Amino acid sequence: MIEHAPRFEERPPYARPGCGETVQAKDRDLSLDVLKGLGCILMVMAHVPAKIWTYQGLTFLGGFAPVPFYSVVGVTACFQAQKYKPRSVILNYLFLFLLGFALNGFNSPDFMRPPVIHFDIIQIIAIGSLAVYLLEYYFKPPVWIYLMLGIISFLVKLALDVVLPAQNYPLLAGLLLTYSGTFPIFPWLFLFLLGVFAYRISVQWDLGWTVITAGIYMLLALTGFALDYRNKFDMSVGYFLLSCILLFGLFLLARKFKWFQWQSPFNPFIFFGQNSLLFLFVHFSVIGVFVLRLQWNDNIRWFRLYPFLFWGFVTLVTWISMAFLLYAARIRWLAIQFDRIWVWMLLAFLVFAVAALIPYKGIVRWSEAGLGISAALYYHRLGRALKGRDLTPAYEI
């Protein structure tokens, strides 16, 4: 008996958690948390690069952290399109966009002297999420549109390289055009769009697209095409294809196998995935203490010889610090202050004022870390501050 091939179709909206369904906590799709948690763990490998050549491959792998992270955020934006009105969502992401500059300030304390605005991790999250939300809310496109728009986002980057070279238009570098260490709109929008596509198609088609993208990569390599596969920030065709292979492959594995989907604070994938905004600020702070200041990665012999031990150490300290902060954030009299919109406006103002007015990089760096951690801890209360009721997204950023 010949088995029919699976149809290439969008998952029925109410068959299981998907972009057509509002997901409550009780039926939360833990595969998304696992993928986002994996992205967090990969960030540690990317942000603490190993100096020993045998670990260079793992550091390169860590650089793919945005693949699972951004793609899942794109999926969660679809959930929001089914539950929240545009005004509330736009204001939510506007605050996220502005407060996200606290991370810019931590990594580049002088970014406001003179003002040099580049999009970092949180800015592209806000923009990519809003783009998917608006697309889903107003148009509800068929699943293949997300595939086409994802590919077009990368092709636009290639076109901009020719039409608007970054060296000739420095004000657009890091915003619209590629710039080292930044996340401009093009090409990074492609991950949010392809994430929706990968989640809405069947597992069989995730496997199919993993094979298709891998086949395209191998075919180009065999023909001698310059893949330049390590070029991340001025994204090459090779890096784009590797990202696609990883994206479809990870969605396939996370949805097919339930290895890491046990709900517990002792599961790092779930814990980091469900508190990923806080993770961004805390893990950078831990790196700031133990790498930038104490330099334990060089000064402690075992960490220097075996970088994976230091990666584990940073992850563990981040984990413990987050757990403590989340526990402390439960203090009621402090938490209810973040139900007031003026508190969020003050936070956003201070993010820029600190960087613009304080000349000491160390003070700016740690002040921005404190502001960012405060915003991340209480971000779920921002909706209440905006509308006077709880607007917590089905999945936290």
Residue-wise pLDDT for 172-187, tens only, equals 999 999 998 999 999 9
Which letter does DSSP use for residue 264 in this model? -
Task: Give me the pLDDT at residue 19, please.
Answer: 46
Task: Give me the pLDDT at residue 389, please.
Answer: 52
Place of tokens 């890491």: 260
Task: Give me the pLDDT at residue 54, please.
Answer: 72
Which one, of 264, 376, 392, lies nearest residue 321 by Cα?
376
| pLDDT tens string 320-377 | 999 999 999 999 999 999 999 999 999 999 999 999 999 999 999 999 999 999 999 9
Question: Could you tell me if 68 and 41 are in contact, meaning their C-beta atoms sit under 8 angstroms apart?
Answer: no
Task: Give me the pLDDT at residue 35, please.
Answer: 97
- Amino acid type, 334: L
Task: Give me the pLDDT at residue 396, please.
Answer: 57
CA 372, 396, 129: angle at the middle one, nearest 5? 90
- 364: its two tokens: 């700016």
CA distances from 5 to 142, 187, 194, 279 (A): 20, 33, 22, 41
Cis peptide before 114 (omega within 30 of 0): yes
Cα–Cα distance measured from residue 376 to residue 96, given in angstroms and rounded to the nearest whole number: 9
Task: Give me the pLDDT at residue 3, please.
Answer: 35
- 192: its two tokens: 């949010």
Buried b (16+ CB within 10 A) or exposed e, 362-396: eebbbbbbebbbbbbbbbbbbbbbbbeeebebbbb
Contacts of 214-218 with CB under 8 Å at 24 or more apart are 214/245, 216/241, 217/241, 217/242, 217/245
What are the 10-residue block averages of pLDDT along the chain, 397 residues in total? Answer: 35 39 59 97 91 80 97 96 92 97 95 83 98 97 98 98 92 92 96 98 98 98 96 97 98 91 89 97 97 92 92 97 97 94 97 95 97 97 78 51
Which one, of 395, 389, 388, 372, lies nearest residue 95 by Cα?
372
Burial status of residue 60 (CB atoms within 10 A of its CB: 0-12, 13-18, 19 or more): middle
